[in-house]
Each structure stands twice: as structure tokens, then as C-alpha cells.
Structure 1
Amino acid sequence: MFQRTPEQTPLFPRFAMNPNLQLFLNREALYHRVPNQIDEYYDEQFIRKSDYYGNGLFSTVFIRSRSRNMVILMVFLFLVFLFIINSYDGSTIVEDKTPLPTMQPETALYEYPSIGVSESVMEQCLGEYLSSVDTGEPYPDDANKVKVHHIRVIGALGDSLTIGALAQNMINQTGRQFSGNSFITGAEHSISSHLTIYNILKYIADRVGYKITGGSQGIGYGRHTGFNVAIEGARSFQLPDQADELIKRMKENKDVDITRDWKLISLWIGTNDPGKLNHGTAAPVNGSYYKSQIEIALQKLKENLPRTIVSIIGMFPAELLQEARSIIETGKRPRQFEDEQALDSLIEEYRKALIEIQNDPIFNTKEFAVVVQPFATKYNTPFKNSSGAYDPIFYATDIFHLSKYGHAVIAKNLWQNLFEPVGKKTENADLGDTRAQIFKLTKENCLIRTIGNS
């Protein structure tokens, strides 16, 4: 008769040498040792640990039935495979390549602040206007008659300031471009958490009964940025390519009626064009070339996207963005006086070029209009809060790009500029007025202002 040897005894953690266990496994032996006190100790230890390791005895029933169980398992897996194959409908699963935000556990609760507008305040600011909306009114065919609730599509061209570079939600959140927080197309949060132009338009759309298309979400570049095709580090010569990309995205989107829907497109470019006069190494782009590249991009939009209003943000003074860190930390601008004069002069060239484009009849028709929004063109200091003190809350970690909070500030002031007549628009906005409210609309002031209706 077969007898197990100690080498054949299954090894259980901590209990392989338990005499009682050996006695059981060698139960067919001719001779058995009489248990003693040490054996009782091993029994107690084995029973005490059995809840953690499971049943300590590999019974012969289990060993003999293992093959049968494996057969049953294989049959089960085969049936599951057949079920999956029969359920497959031929559709393609597209993997979302957007990097997920990550953060260190110790900083996971530290969220960057923003400006959100509550439901009650939105009602105070827009309630009168919304109650005047006639959903049965004819849809306008003239850019000079477009009210804000006629906008169906939103988009953007530009550089890092438009794509939301470094506008994180959380401290230590990885990534560079946070388009979901962009002042213009940001759709990552509700209006009560983060103020953006898209969120205001969505609030209106939800109450009037239509859909707004083009909002941005996620981190990095890709289709999740919606109709925000801005690129970090972009200069004016890259705008024509951005225009092509925007046209492509809009034409491919089934929610956009290219010929009927009114579109609001933001254009903000020029921060990188001064090159080595600013923070770059390239030769500065002169005002004439800067203007020509914007005109090429606008012409592309005009030819391919009828019923479009382009809102161009006027160039900010260097002190507000590029030089903010130096001024806050040292109290002075970072360059020699002659270089500062050259930079200021070039920025003024850019501003004049934008006004010339706005006033060009080519870009002011019933189907296409261009308007400059100059709300901070004369704000020639770093951001100051309501107390009049420099406040880095407006800036990202580099004290140059906009923080999530800064994007909300820009959205608030851009919103007001949209409804101010051309020639009477705010140029030195009180950016430090960060009260959680927006410019109030009524039946009389809800037109998006253009050259033709100002």
C-alpha cells in the first residue's frame, strides 16, 4: 500500500512540520506515534491560522476532483467567449488618448480657485433679458442684428493664453494645456464653478431651448478641445493653419449647420510675436507682417464659415503678462529702457493693425463681422486685486500665463466688452473687481456689437 514520505507532504505555511498533520497524511502507515503536548500546540496554531490561509488540509477529494473542475472552467470560459462574439455589433471602440490629471496624495485636496456665478446671480444678470426672448422670432440673416441667444457655435484661434496653458485645477496636476478652463471655450465645469464665455452661452441656451457647440474639455491637444484650435507658443504666421483646422472641425461636426448657424470665434494672438524683444529668441515680427497673417486667416474663415462674428482681443501691455513676474518681484521692468521702448512701440503697432482690420469693409458684411475687444489694452501694470495690491492669483505658476482664476477674470471682462458699442468699449477694465457676477443684459443691450450696429 502506498505511503507518503515527508518529501511528498504538501507544504502549508508555518505548519508543514505539524506532527498531527503528518499523522493525518501518513494515516495508512503501519505504525503511528502517540500524540503529546507539543502536538496539541501545533493543532491549536493550525486551527488559529486556518481562517487566514483557508482549509489547511488538501483532501484527497479535492485533489481527485481538480481535473474535473478544470474541465468545467474551460467549458464556462468558452461559453463566455461565444457570448461576447455574438454580442459584438461591429462598432469600433475609440480609445480616449487624453491624459488623465494626476496629483500627489498630499496635495490632492488643494484646488486652484476660480470665479463661479450662482444660479440666483445669473438670474439677476440675465433674467430680464431671457424673459424678453421670443423663440418664434425670425432667425437673423445679418451680423448687425445678432443677439447673444442667436449664437449656436463657439470657437477660438490663438496661443497659450487661449488654449489654457498651465491653468490647472489642482496643485501638482500634470499636463500643459487645460482647454477645459479656457476663458472662451472652457466647458470642464458649470457656470457656478468656473466662469467662461461658453458657460454663459450654455446657460442661455439651456433656458431658451437650443444647443451650443464647440466647448473644450480635458488636457492636452486633440478633438476634446472642441473648436478651440489654439496652440501654445503660436505666432501670427500660424493663424492661417489654425483657421484651416477650425474650418475642418466645424464642417465635420454634425451638430453644426455651417450655412445657417451664427458662430462666435475668438482670436487672440501677438504675445509671442515680439520674439527677443519679449521672452523669445526669434526676430520680432513687424506690425505689417502681423496684420497680413491675421488677414489671411480671417479671409479663410469668411470664405468657409458664413454667419460668423470674430472677436479679436486687443494686445495687452507687456506689464500685465510678460513682465508681471519681474515687476511683482523687483518693482521694475526687466529690460533696458531702450528695449522697453521698442517693445511698447511694437505692441502699439499690433494694436493699430487690429483696429485697421476691424475697420476694413471687407470684414464687415451681413454674413461676416470682425470686432476688436480692447478691455485691457491700457492696463499697464501687473494684475491688482480689489485692494490695489499686486496679486499672483491671476497668474499660473510662472507668473505669466493665466491661472484658472485669471481665465475667469478675462471671461468676465470680455463678456462686457462684447455688448459695448465700437468706439465706446472699455479699454482699462477694473480687472480686480472679481465679484461673482456678470454684465447685466436687457432687451435693449443684448446685441453683439459690431461696426454696423454701433
Structure 2
Amino acid sequence: MMLKMKLTVFRVLIFYLLCSSLCYLCVDGREEYEHPISFLDGDSMRSMYRSFRDFAMRIIGQTGRRTRGAFLQETDTKFPCNKSGMRSPTIPTSVHRLRPGDIDVIAALGDSLTAASGASSVRVTDLVIENRGLSWSIGGQWSFKNSSTLPNILKEYNPNLVGYSKHDAWTYHLDSQLNLAEIGASSADMPYMAKMLVQRIKMDKRINFKKSWKMVTIAIGGNDICSFICQMDEPESLPRKHKQRLVKTLRYLRDNLPRTFVSIVPTPFVKSVVMVENKPFHCQMLHHGECSCWIGHLYNQNKENQELYHRIQAEMHEVEFNVAQMKEFRNLKEFAAVFQPWPVGLSFETDEKPFDSSLLAFDCFHMSQKGHGWAGVALWNNLYEKPGNKTKNWVSPKKRFICPTQQHPYFYTNDNYLEEQNQHNSVSGNSAS
């Protein structure tokens, strides 16, 4: 009986991975990453895939409810900041005067990293489950004391925050809430996700569409570098295309989602994750499928190509930084886009270990629940760090956690930072005279 169950689970995983691979084929290998209709986009195929995903969750179970394991963040972490005065007396009218308690709605666009795939995984089959409630930028399961995600931090200032994912879920489940991330998603999917996000927010009766302040995190591009780029005729064109899609997405959010603060977060360098030496055998095998442009022999994976892809990903990071600086997204009253670079220098070296595998899921590719907690705090710290001087790594939340103060209560935007600099220069000039 046990053997039959294991075989069933194994078949479920293989079929799931096959379906995921088919999804990759749907959106890749064509110029501009357009999404022409194929039989895989039909209603019957979509319905079958959804049914399979629901079946997989029933068979494997809600892994995100686990409370024991090395993949978990340390519990009983006390919130380190004074929360007094961190919600404005009246609703702010400027995105440049937002305190943490002013955020009423949180949302996210992204891929499997934002879906928190396998965050609580201890075996290969667990990688199927998306532990969205534990996601670094959009997961609100539990509380700050055992899961320091961005929503759990914001809930300390505003317990009425809405939009965060609650438990294990697929995108179309209610518990996913305003987490629009999808496994296998590429840069080309951003504009569509933005439209779906606006629709969901408009339909949510808890949200005052025009008055509520919304915080959206965008983190996407890992699949472009890991699984799609080696099928492109001109891989060097990817940064240009990524810019076009990101600009299109931001324009849509700016024009259709009132009172929105957007964080643009780059994806960690693929090289720093998949090229780690002496990783477990099962990770080596899984990386063949998860990052086939870098690992294996199917797409001529050699050092020269890997270095090319690394440079292209660096250019994508630069594109994201530059887009956030564009004039059309500056000096706006109800919209701001800020580049938050914490993953750029991502390292798995800690004070205790040269390579801390507890930060990673079973596949050594996605983040563990502990990793999501560290990432949530890294994003939070970036929100309160000055543009151009933001930390490009993560550390233990116990080691570094920035608290807003009465002197500096607002999230940094490119514009309020410039205003701060001008005021400082003015004061310095008056003092000198």
C-alpha cells in the first residue's frame, strides 16, 4: 500500500513537471515572447491543468502548515520597533509621505519565487506546492514572530492590512488574494498580471479603490535567464524587451491604480544560485529542469554562454534601476516606483556557515521559509534606505532591522530623497554663510 502511494505521488510530480514544461513551451522560443494561441491555451487544457494542480495539493497536502524543520525561521522574534505615530492621523495625499501604517493594501507580481514554491519542502514532491502564505513580499500567514515577511511587518503597524496570501494556494484560489505570481512566468507576463491585479482590487469590497494606499512588489525575470534565453535567436535583446514590458506595466498601474507605491526588485543572479559547487545530487538533477539554459547538455551549456547570460542579467538589473528613474514616473502625487536592489549581491554565507542551505528549499533553488523571512526584512530595509545607498544582500533579521523614526517616518522615494538632499544642502549653505 505504501509503495503504491509513493508511486502515485511520484507520477503526480512527473506529470506536474511535464505540464510546467509545456507551459514554458507555450511562451518561449518565439521573437518578442508573444503568446500566440495554441492548443495548450484552450479552455479544456486550462481546466485539466487546474484540476491536476488541485489534485496534487490534495495528495501532497498543505506543507506550509509545518512547524518543525531546519527550513523554518527562528520563532519568538519580538518586533524591534516603536510603532507609535507610524500611521498618519489623516490619509496622506502624497506617495512621498507614506508611513508604514498608511499601507492598507499589499500586492505582488512575479514568478515561483513570489509564489513561494517549495518554501516548506523537505522532499522532492513538496516542490509542487506553492506556500504563498509564507512568501517574502506578499505572504501574511502566521505573524512577525515566526515569519518576518513584508506583510507581517506591515501588519504590526496596520492590523487591517489586506491583500496578502494566507496559506498554500494556486493563483486562482481565494487564499492567494492579491498575489498574482505564477510559476514559469516570464518578463512578458507582467502587463497581463498588472491588468488582472487591477481587476481583483476593483472587485474586492474591503478596498476603497480610490483612497486606499497600495504597495505592489514586482520581481520577475528569473525564468527568462534560466529557461528561455537559450532558445532566443538574439539573447542580447532581452534587456531591451524587459524594459519595454516593465515600462508598459508601470504605465498601466500608474494610470489605472490610484495611490500606489511600487517596489521593483531584481531577481538574484542565477550564477550565484545554480553554480554553487558541491551541492547535493538531487539538486544537481532538479536544476537540469529548473535552469536548463545553465545546467545540463541540452542547450550547449558552456562557460562562455553562462558568462553571456550573466552579463545579460546584469543589464536587466540596470534596466530596472533606470526605469524607476524615468521622468514619467517621477514627481507624481499618487504613484512612485523605486528600485530595491537587495538580491543583487545575494550570498548564502552566514556567520555560522560558509553556505547556509537552510535558506533554500529542497531543490537548492527556491527560498525556504527561513529564506523568505530574511528576504522580507531585506526588502523592508531597502524601503527605508536612501536611493543609491541601499543594501545589496540579506542578513539575519536579528542582525539588521531598520526602524522608522519620527524624524524619518516615510518610505523613501526618488523624489522625497531629492527633497531631503536639497533641504540638507540649503541648511549646510546657510550654516556656512
* Deviation at residue 175 of structure 1 after TM alignment: 4.0
Cross-structure match for 2:270 = 318
- Structure 2 contact 132–176 (Cα < 8 Å) conserved: yes
Larger Rg: 1 or 2? 1
Cα deviation code 1:101-131 (max 9, x no counterpart): 8469xxx885453325646x31xx222xx22
2:190 to 239, 242, 246: 239
Query: Aligned residue for 1:289?
Result: 241
- Asked if 1:215 is matched to 2:164, the reply is yes
Quick one: distance in 1 between partners of 2:226 and 2:369?
Answer: 26
Q: 1:309 aligns with which of 236, 240, 261?
A: 261
Partner of 2:103: 151
- Taking the aligned partners of 2:278 and 2:251, their CA distance within structure 1 comes to 39
**In the alignment, structure 1 residue 423 sits paired with structure 2 residue 388:** yes
Aligned to 1:115: 73
User: In structure 2, do the counterparts of structure 1 residues 254 and 301 end up closer, same or farther at CA, with 3 Å as the change threshold?
Assistant: same
- Structure 1 residue 256 and structure 2 residue 217: aligned? no
- Percent identical: 25
Q: Which of 343, 346, 358 is the equivalent residue of 2:324? A: 358
CA distance in 2, matches of 1:402, 1:133: 30
Q: Which residue of 1 aligns with 2:429?
A: none
Q: What SS does the aligned partner of 1:180 have?
A: helix
**Which of 140, 156, 166 is residue 187 of structure 1 equivalent to?**
140
Seen in structure 2, the aligned counterparts of structure 1 residues 345 and 189 have a Cα distance that, compared at 3 Å, is same
Cα distance change of structure 1 residues 168 and 281 upon mapping to structure 2, 3 Å threshold: farther
Compare 167-176 and 360-369 and name the one that shifted more: 167-176
Q: Distance in 1 between matches of 2:349 and 2:59?
A: 30
Note the C-alpha offset of 1:272.
1.1
> How many Å apart are 1:412 and its aligned residue?
1.4
Partner in structure 2 of residue 450 of structure 1: 413
Q: In the alignment, which residue of structure 2 is the partner of 1:36?
A: none
8 Å contact kept, 1:175–1:220: no
Contact 1:183–1:408 (8 Å) recurs in 2: yes
Shift of the 275–388 alpha-carbon distance from structure 1 to 2, 3 Å rule, reads closer
Deviation at 1:138, TM superposition (A): 2.9
Q: Deviations over 1:188-234 (max 9, x none)?
A: 2122221111111112113xxxx111010223232311111011111
Letter in structure 2 aligned against 1:126 = C
Q: Give the equivalent residue in structure 1 for 2:39.
A: none
- Contact persistence 1:179–1:225 (CA under 8 A): yes
2:81 equivalent in structure 1: 126
Gapped runs of 5+ residues in structure 2?
A: 1-53, 285-293, 296-300, 418-433
Tell me, in whole angstroms, the C-alpha distance in 1 between the residues paired with 2:147 and 2:116. Answer: 13
How far has the Cα of 1:177 moved from its partner? 1.3
SS at match of 1:449: coil
Match of 2:350 among 375, 382, 385: 385
Query: What letter is aligned with 2:98?
Result: V
Counterpart contact for 2:71–2:361, Cα < 8 Å? no
1:175–1:219 CA contact under 8 A, matched in 2:
no
**RMSD (CA atoms):** 2.9
SS of match in other structure, 2:192: helix
The answer to whether structure 1 residue 376 and structure 2 residue 343 are counterparts is: yes
- Rounded to whole Å, the distance in 2 between the matches of 1:270 and 1:367 is 27
Go from structure 1 to structure 2 and tell me whether the alpha carbon gap of 1:276 and 1:221 turns closer, same or farther (over 3 Å shift).
closer
Task: Rate the CA distance shift 1:167–1:109 in 2: closer, same or farther, 3 A.
Answer: closer
Q: 1:436: how far off?
A: 7.3
Change (3 A) 1:102 1:318: closer
Aligned-partner Cα distance in 1 for 2:61–2:188: 36
| Whole-Å separation in 2 of the counterparts to 1:235 and 1:276 | 9
Q: Offset at 1:437?
A: 6.7
Per-residue CA deviations over 1:344-370 (Å, capped at 9, x if unaligned) read 210111011111111112112111110
When residues 390 and 154 of structure 1 are mapped into structure 2, their CA distance, relative to the original with a 3 A threshold, is same
Once the two structures are TM-superposed, the CA of residue 337 in structure 1 deviates from its matched residue by 2.9
- SS of 1:424's equivalent in the other structure is coil
The structure carrying a bigger helix percent of its residues is 2
Query: Structure 2 CA distance, aligned partners of 1:287 and 1:343?
Result: 11
Q: Which moved more, 1:314-323 or 1:411-420?
A: 314-323
CA distance in 2: counterparts of 1:221 and 1:103, whole angstroms:
17
CA gap 1:150/1:304 in 2 versus in 1, 3 angstroms: same
User: Would the aligned equivalents of 1:153 and 1:264 in 2 still touch at CA under 8 Å?
Assistant: yes
Once the two structures are TM-superposed, the CA of residue 450 in structure 1 deviates from its matched residue by 0.6
Rate the CA distance shift 1:134–1:143 in 2: closer, same or farther, 3 A.
closer
What TM-score does the superposition give when structure 2 sets the normalisation length?
A: 0.71
Question: SS at 1:289's partner residue?
Answer: helix
Q: Distance in 2 between matches of 1:201 and 1:188?
A: 13
- Look up the match of 1:196: 149
1 CA distance for matches of 2:59 and 2:251?
Answer: 38
How far apart are residue 377 of structure 1 and its match? 1.0
Deviations 1:420-444 (A, max 9, x none): 11111112x2x34353773222212
- 1:88 is aligned to none
- SS of the residue corresponding to residue 272 of structure 1 reads helix
Kept in 1: contact 2:107–2:163 (CA 8 A): yes
Task: Call closer, same or farther: CA 1:205–1:275 in 2, change over 3 Å.
Answer: closer
Amino acid in the other structure paired with 2:152: N
Q: How many residues of Structure 1 are paired with residues of Structure 2 in the alignment? A: 339
3-state secondary structure, aligned to 1:286: helix
Question: Residue in 2 aligned with 1:18?
Answer: none
Q: Distance in 1 between matches of 2:100 and 2:128?
A: 33
Q: 1:349 to 1:109 in 2, by over 3 A?
A: closer
Q: Give the letter for the 1:439 counterpart.
A: I
Q: How does 1:92-103 map to 2 (within 5 A)?
A: 99=57, 102=60
SS of 2:222's equivalent in the other structure is coil
| Superposed CA offset, 1:289-333 (max 9, x none) | 011011111111111111101001123222333434x46469x99
User: Secondary structure of 2:338's partner?
Assistant: strand
CA distance in 2: counterparts of 1:169 and 1:195, whole angstroms: 18
CA distance in structure 1 between the partners assigned to 2:314 and 2:87 by the alignment: 43
Q: What residue ranges of structure 1 are gaps of 5+ in the alignment?
A: 1-96
